[in-house]
Structure 1
Amino acid sequence: MHGLDFDIAHLLAGSLVLVSFMMIYQDRIYSLLNTFALQAVLLALAVAWQAWIQGAHHLYASAALALVFKGTIVPWALHRIVQRLGIHREVEVVTGVVPTMLAGMGLVALSILLMLQLTESAENALAREDLAFALSVILLGMLMMVTRRNAVTQVVGFMSLENGLILAAAGAQGMPLVVEISVAFSVLIAMIVIGVFLFRIRERFDSVDLESLDEFRGERR
């Protein structure tokens, strides 16, 4: 494996982390969905590059699934849901952008330090560093879920978290193709369930802001 292979793999994995920060920064739902589609395209490129340098041809199918489902179908479906529900275009946040970005930087630093220490004895340096990037994407996805009140943006955070899991599996010498296919169909089923769930919330509460649910349960005054 040449040094260029490492550099490109790190560039693609690091770009996923950068786009995760871009998603946290977005204050418009449509911009957030477009940024998520960009992250999915970068994920497909990262997995395809791992397939090339590892000689693992089944990862090409994984990259294609990520591009088709995560980069095309899921963003399109979420765009349609947002349009049909007439959701307010601004992203409702729990805290400001600056504290969230600072928390995100702290999580990335923690991910790198933790993963590099835990995998210190590993022989594959590429897998070690890609796992650190993948954990960063996972934690940033969780941060988005915690700091966003709108149900749609929380769904995007969950999907971003899953992108980190796929990156980790591809970097750690890949995953069986049957697992990736099952994940893709699980995403489709989840999108159907999420769509029905969001429509029911909107019909019942006239909003998809999770604060409305808290008020209905009497948790907010």
Structure 2
Amino acid sequence: MNGFVFDIAHLLAGGLVLVSIMMLYQDRLYALLNTFALHALILTLSVAWQAYVQDAPHLYVTAAIALVFKAIIIPVALHRIIRQLGIHREIETAVGVGLTMLAGIGLVALSMAVMLQVTSEIDPLAREDLAFALSVLLLGLLMMVTRRNAVSQVVGFMSLENGLVLAATGAKGMPLVVEISVTFSILVAFIVIGIFLFRIRERFDTVDVEALDEFQGDRR
């Protein structure tokens, strides 16, 4: 039974890392949003499995929140924002996709080497889940750094937060009040980001971060 529990937990956490790498490969916004919805769905399954393994019913609430808000509401809302703003559907990148993918693979290898080394004394299931969670977090940061489009940077931020949730649930969960607080904080941040996207598009006629930097330089 223990081996089966480990296999399923690692399959789901590893799947989250794989989908994070898939997001780095996407060059169109709609495909990126669909991949993020898959990312949130796998997170939901991973958290639900941890709830079963740990016999922690409150984690089922976390799984339900991830499913409803991250896998459904937020991707649908971002789809509508893209349509309403008429945002360019292709994603501009700071570096080539190939180099980004290689950097992502390197970050995953680094995460595994570092986390498995420093957590050698803790529970094996939590240890490997923390290594996967660090990989997801670093891949989210990589997306934010290498993407010029503000919407794709928002997706990178939310995938980073998925990594934090994976780490918290893998390490024997966190109090329900903290989970709900974090979720509402993310929702508030998403609403604020949506408002800023509308304002930026209205003012500058683009959401390309590089173009905004050039505009700021011209004003100086």
TM-score range, shorter chain: over 0.9
Asked if residue 109 in structure 1 is aligned to residue 106 in structure 2, the reply is: no
1:181 aligns with 180
Q: What is the aligned partner in structure 2 of residue 119 from structure 1?
A: 119
Deviation at 1:20?
0.3
C-alpha displacement of 1:182: 1.1
Q: Which amino acid aligns with 2:206?
A: S
| Matched residue, 1:26 | 26
What's the counterpart of residue 136 of structure 2? Answer: 137
Q: Match for residue 73 of structure 1? A: 73
| Whole-Å separation in 1 of the counterparts to 2:211 and 2:97 | 22
Task: Give unpaired runs (5+ residues) of structure 2.
Answer: none
Task: Quote how far apart the aligned CAs of 1:219 are.
Answer: 7.6
Listed one character per residue, the Cα deviations across residues 5-27 of structure 1 (whole Å, up to 9, x for unaligned) are 00000000000000001100001
CA distance in 2, matches of 1:177, 1:79: 30
Secondary structure at the aligned position of 1:95 is classed as: coil
Instruction: Indicate the percent of aligned positions where both proteins have the same amino acid.
Output: 73
CA displacement 1:138-173 (0-9 Å, x = unmatched): 000000000000000000000000000000000000
**What is the TM-score normalised by the length of structure 2?**
0.97
Aligned length: 219
Report how far residue 188 of structure 1 moved: 1.7
Partner amino acid, structure 2, of 1:104: G
Measured in 2, the distance between the counterparts of 1:82 and 1:175 equals 34
Map of 2:150 onto structure 1: 151
Structure 2 counterpart of 1:166, which letter? Answer: V
Amino acid at match of 1:158: F
CA distance in 1, matches of 2:124, 2:218: 48
Question: 3-state DSSP class of the match of 2:114?
Answer: helix
In 2, distance between residues paired with 1:210 and 1:51? 40
Which residue does 1:44 correspond to in 2?
A: 44
Specify the code of the residue in structure 1 equivalent to 2:32: L
Partners of 1:162 and 1:207 in 2: how far apart?
Answer: 26
Verify: 1:11 aligned to 2:11, yes or no.
yes
Tell me the SS of whatever aligns to 1:217. Answer: helix
Alpha-carbon deviation of 1:185?
1.3
The more displaced of 176-185 and 107-116 is 176-185
Structure 1, gaps ≥5 residues long = none
Amino acid at match of 1:106: G
User: Which range is displaced more, 35-44 or 183-192?
Assistant: 183-192
What's the CA shift for 1:212?
1.5
RMSD over equivalenced CA pairs, Å: 1.2
